Amino acid sequence: MRAAVITKFNEPWTLKELPDPRPQPGQVLVRVRASGMCGTDLHVHHGFLPVQPPIVAGHEPTGDIVEVGAGVTDLRVGDRVGAFWNQKGCGRCDACQKGEPGACPNAQTWMHVGGGNSELMIAWASGCALLPDGLSYEAAAPIFCAGYTVMSGLRNADPKPGERVAVLGLGGLGHLALQLAKAVGLETFAITGQAGKKAELEGFGADEVLVSGDDPGAALQRAGGADVIASPERRPRSSRTDDDQLRQHDRSEPRPGNDGAEAECQLPPSQDANNGRQALHLVATTQLFNDQ
């Protein structure tokens, strides 16, 4: 098979012929149809992750299963799948027994089995998901990292029907956060400093687009605030959000959080135990490094 191989950090990747891999028990062999390019691939390129060259990167792959290993019963040859960053846990530790294999101290990720920038790749069956009919490989690929990141954040925020989510930072992750929040029935506000983005953001489902200028917090406050603020930026300019921008609402099990006048955008979400306000900071790299 052909693969794009990182043979040395900070050097161009090399297209090489490598032996075709074969799946071990519990694994599947995937013929890759699309492989998304993520900002974390730059971290791999620069040597910031716990891997050493030579390595095949690519953690947003989709394709077709062409072979299954022994013991795989829930996936079949011909299935259209994507592979997650987290592949499997040990199955025996406390985290795995609680259904949280990503917290397993012996968890395996794509770095243990090889990435998707190749014609063929190995994945654990437990680390794959079927693609819905009608969804293209290209459209599905980034959902296995960027989409997972923002949807995981929204789940952690636990918004209730009818509540408002404000998205700050409308690049690749922010566009997905906007669409996913809208898809699950939430009122969605997009906050941008670029007036030229308004039509595009409305097309992605924003109920209202706030052109903020240099003070996104003030713009959101004037619009009545939000129940959840989702900021996919790594270090957003407005990473501290006044309580006045967050609506007061109850939570059945409020999480402990800040006791001051400000709620800091963090992952996991912080929440004022007295008034239930919370701000959510979606950070693509946080999950990745926490898993190591």
pLDDT in tens, the chain (292 residues): 999 999 999 999 999 999 999 999 999 999 999 999 988 999 999 999 999 999 999 999 999 999 999 999 999 999 999 999 999 999 999 999 999 888 999 999 999 999 999 999 999 999 999 999 999 999 999 999 999 888 888 888 888 888 999 998 888 889 999 999 999 999 999 999 899 999 999 999 999 999 988 888 889 889 998 988 888 765 445 444 444 454 444 222 222 232 222 333 333 333 333 344 444 444 333 333 333 3
pLDDT at 82: 98
pLDDT at 204: 93
pLDDT at 155: 87
Neighbours of 129 (CB within 10 A): 15
Select 2-136's CATH number: 3.90.180.10, 3.40.470.10, 3.40.50.300, 1.10.10.10: 3.90.180.10
CA distances from 37 to 18, 115, 229 (A): 21, 11, 26
In the chain, list all ranges with CATH 3.90.180.10.
Answer: 2-136
What CA–CA distance (Å, rounded) separates 151 from 142?
A: 12
* DSSP of 52-115: -SSEE--SSEEEEEEEE-TT--S--TT-EEEE-SEEE--SSSHHHHTT-GGG-TT-EEHHHH--
Tokens of 52: 């050493």
pLDDT at 269: 37
Q: What angle do CA 125, 128, 133 make, to 5 degrees?
A: 125
pLDDT at 57: 95
Give just the sign of the alpha carbon dihedral 60, 131, 24, 77: negative
Which residues contact residue 52 at a Cβ distance below 8 angstroms, ignoring those fewer than 6 apart?
A: none
Select 148-290's CATH number: 2.40.160.20, 3.40.50.720, 3.40.50.970, 3.40.50.410: 3.40.50.720
pLDDT at 172: 84
CA distances from 288 to 46, 98, 291 (A): 15, 20, 5
pLDDT at 275: 40
Model's pTM, two decimal places?
A: 0.77
Radius of gyration of the chain measured on its C-alpha atoms: 21
Burial of 159 (0-12, 13-18, 19+ CB in 10 A): buried
In the chain, list all ranges with CATH 3.40.50.720.
Answer: 148-290
pLDDT at 233: 64
CA distances from 46 to 12, 43, 49, 254 (A): 11, 5, 8, 40
Q: What angle do CA 105, 109, 110 make, to 5 degrees?
A: 165
